[in-house]
Amino acid sequence: MRPNRVGMALSALAAAATLMVLTSASGANALPDPKVDETPTPGSETAVLGGGCFWGVEAVFEHVRGVSDVISGYAGGDADSATYREVSSGRTGHAESVRITYDPSQVTYGQLLKVFFEVAHDPTELNRQGPDRGTQYRSAIFYANEEQKRIAEAYIRQIDAAGVYPDPIVTQITPLAGFYTAEDYHQDYLPRHPTQPYILINDQPKLTELERRLPELYRSR
C-alpha cells in the first residue's frame, strides 16, 4: 500500500521537505477563519475527512480541542465493504479517511476544516500525499448533510480568494455514503509507533505545526 517505510528513506525525506516548504509558505499567508460555519452549540457531531495516509490525519485531530474520538477508516467507494487489502488495490474507490467526533461548542466544523487544510495535509495534491500515491490518498471531504457541504464549499472559496496556496485546491466534496472502520492495527498508529521512520518524517511534524500555528485549537492528548 505505502512504500516500505525504512527502505524508501529518500522518498520520505522528500516528503518532509515538501511539508517544510508548505508550512513555511502558509505560515506567511495563514489560513483565514471560516466566515461560514455552524452554530457553536453543545452536542456531539461527526466529520469524515480524507487527507492521505490516515495515520497522521488521525493523530492531528486527536490533538484538537473539543474532539472526543477519531477513527481511521475508508470512505467514498462504490463497494459495500472495505479492507486494507481491497482499498490498497485502488479498485474500490475508497479513500483512507478519518471519522471525527466532536463538540461544536468547543470546536466547530469550520475550525476542523481549517486544521484539515492548514496542517493535516496538502489540499493541492491530486491523488497523492508525500510518498503515497493513488486515489486512495486523495483529499476529500465527505459531508453528512447540506450544512457541512455549504460550509466546506464556502471555505474552499474563501481560501482560494485569499491566495494562500500557489496551486488550486483539489479537495473533493462528496456526500458520505458509508464509513468502514479500518483494521485494529491502524488505530492510534502514531502513539503506538512513535519512532517509526515514516511517522517521524511524515506525521510528527504535523503535530508540531498544529501546536505552533493553531495553539488555540491544540491540546495535549
Give the domain ranges of the chain: 9-213
H/E segment holding residue 135? none
Residue type, 75: A
Is 53 marked active-site? yes
Query: In the CATH scheme, what is the code of domain 9-213?
Result: 3.30.1060.10
In this prediction, residue 29 has a pLDDT band, given cuts at 50, 70 and 90, of low
Regarding predicted confidence, which is higher, 48 or 89? 48
Looking at residues 68-76, what average pLDDT do you find? 97
Asked if pLDDT for residue 57 goes beyond 70, the answer is yes
In the chain, where does DSSP find H-type helix? 9-28, 54-61, 84-88, 109-115, 146-162, 189-192, 197-198, 204-213
Asked if pLDDT for residue 1 goes beyond 50, the answer is no
Q: Identify the pLDDT of residue 24.
A: 38
Q: 53, 156, 176, 217: which is the annotated catalytic residue?
A: 53
Q: Which residue has the cell 453543545?
A: 42
In this prediction, residue 19 has a pLDDT band, given cuts at 50, 70 and 90, of very low
